[in-house]
Amino acid sequence: MSARWAGSKRQWAWPLVPLYAAGLAAKNALRAAGVLPTRKLQWPVISIGSLSAGGAGKTPVVIALAELLKARGWHVDVLTRGYGRDSSDERLKDFAAQVVPDLDDAASRFGDEPTLIARRTGVPVWVGANRFFAGQAAENFATEETWDFVSETIVDIKPAAPVRGLHLLDDGFQHRQLARTLDIVLVTEQDLHDALLPAGDLREPLSSLRRADIVVLREPERARIEARVRALIRPDGLLWTVRRELRLPNETNPGPRPLAFCAIARPDGFWAMLAQAGCQFVDTVALPDHHRYGMVDMDRMVAIATERHATGFLTTEKDAVKLSSPMLERLQSVGPVCVVSLDAKFSDESEVIRELEARCR
């Protein structure tokens, strides 16, 4: 196979790649000429993004940064478009809504990842098609009277002291309409061998890493790819290392023969991490990223589990937030449903905090 096809997942789409690349170049030229505007919020904005269309592990890193900054006394919020949410909510086209994570339909209303971030961190997560509007709503909510589109009530906030606020822009590397203080980009070894959309999963070429202030690499991959990544970034660009850890709940045991299922961008990575953690499973079911579950999916899962004599289920937090009570009950007719958490921990948290605060002060 030629080098041209090495990173291609959809070989039939390769002739379309030059068109996609030309569109990117035209858009970048318009932005450089000032034709495409960039808007600035009052608070610092830290963008966490990737070159890949999915699977780089942004959500655990957003959670880790939110928790670190919150512990340092920052008023942290997360701005996100809420990919996979119910697009029929007309209010989110021109406005933004704060995620209410305890709602039964939170994942379908706000998106699976925003709901997960809100549940894990307890920080405000704002969803909207326009991230500038979402940021304005977040700043207004923290400082003055604002309208809550979920409860449809006026909320009056009067802080006793000035708010030391900071926005985390989820999946923001390509969202250049919003000015940012810092660009953090996650890069995986797979990204370095991937192709541009639509043949591969790269939204931008590797050369775009020169816009990044900080590149985050996975601990097991750093030694293999550090030299190549350093050649792609600016001389003053920083490299951080993140360690990803699976966390299994002590209270739920799916038995010796669980069925593993997920709807994430890179399911093979989840299966591999389960195996590395010593989890045995009889079979796997992978659905498209951000798939919205229904009872038909539960019936399918139960049928496969019954055929394979499974004793329960293993799935991710991102999937679990989309499972309603009736769905869980259907799965539990086979056995317990074990929800596996994925944590991201920086190798040097003190350096991370020091750099973030220095840039945002």
Summarize the confidence of residues 333-347 as an average pLDDT: 96
- Tell me which of 53-67, 82-96, 286-300, 333-347 is least confident: 82-96
Q: Which residue has the tokens 């709602």?
A: 103
**Tokens linked to 331:** 């799965």
3-state secondary structure of 293: coil
- Tell me which of 33-47, 141-155, 316-330 is least confident: 141-155
Which amino acid, 42?
Q
Summarize the confidence of residues 17-23 as an average pLDDT: 93
User: Which of 276, 257, 263, 266 is closest to 338 using CA atoms?
Assistant: 257
Give per-residue pLDDT as tens, 247-272: 988 778 999 999 999 999 999 999 99
Structure-model confidence comparison of residues 72 and 85, the more confident one: 72
Average pLDDT, the chain: 90
Query: What phi, psi does 345 have (nearest 5°)?
Result: -130, 130
DSSP-derived secondary structure letter, 52: B
pLDDT of residue 86: 67
- Measured between alpha carbons, how far is 10 from 13 in angstroms, rounded to an integer? 6
- Sequence spans of domains, the chain: 45-243+345-360, 253-335
- Measured between alpha carbons, how far is 260 from 288 in angstroms, rounded to an integer? 15
Which band of pLDDT confidence, cut at 50, 70 and 90, is reported for residue 94?
A: low
Which amino acid, 291?
H
Q: For the structural domain made of 45-243+345-360, what CATH number should be given? A: 3.40.50
Query: Of all residues in the chain, what percent carry a pLDDT higher than 90?
Result: 77
- Measured between alpha carbons, how far is 151 from 149 in angstroms, rounded to an integer? 6
Structure-model confidence comparison of residues 233 and 95, the more confident one: 233
Beta strands 182-186 and 45-50 are parallel
pLDDT of residue 5: 40
**Tokens linked to 8:** 């291609």
CB atoms within 10 A of CB 26: 10
Query: What phi, psi does 148 have (nearest 5°)?
Result: -95, 110
What does the longest C-alpha to C-alpha distance in the chain come to? 65
Which band of pLDDT confidence, cut at 50, 70 and 90, is reported for residue 93?
A: low
In angstroms, what CA-CA distances link 245 with 54, 73, 348? 19, 26, 16
Summarize the confidence of residues 220-237 as an average pLDDT: 98
Contact present, 325 and 44 (Cβ < 8 Å): no
Q: For the structural domain made of 253-335, what CATH number should be given? A: 3.40.50
Contact present, 158 and 190 (Cβ < 8 Å): no
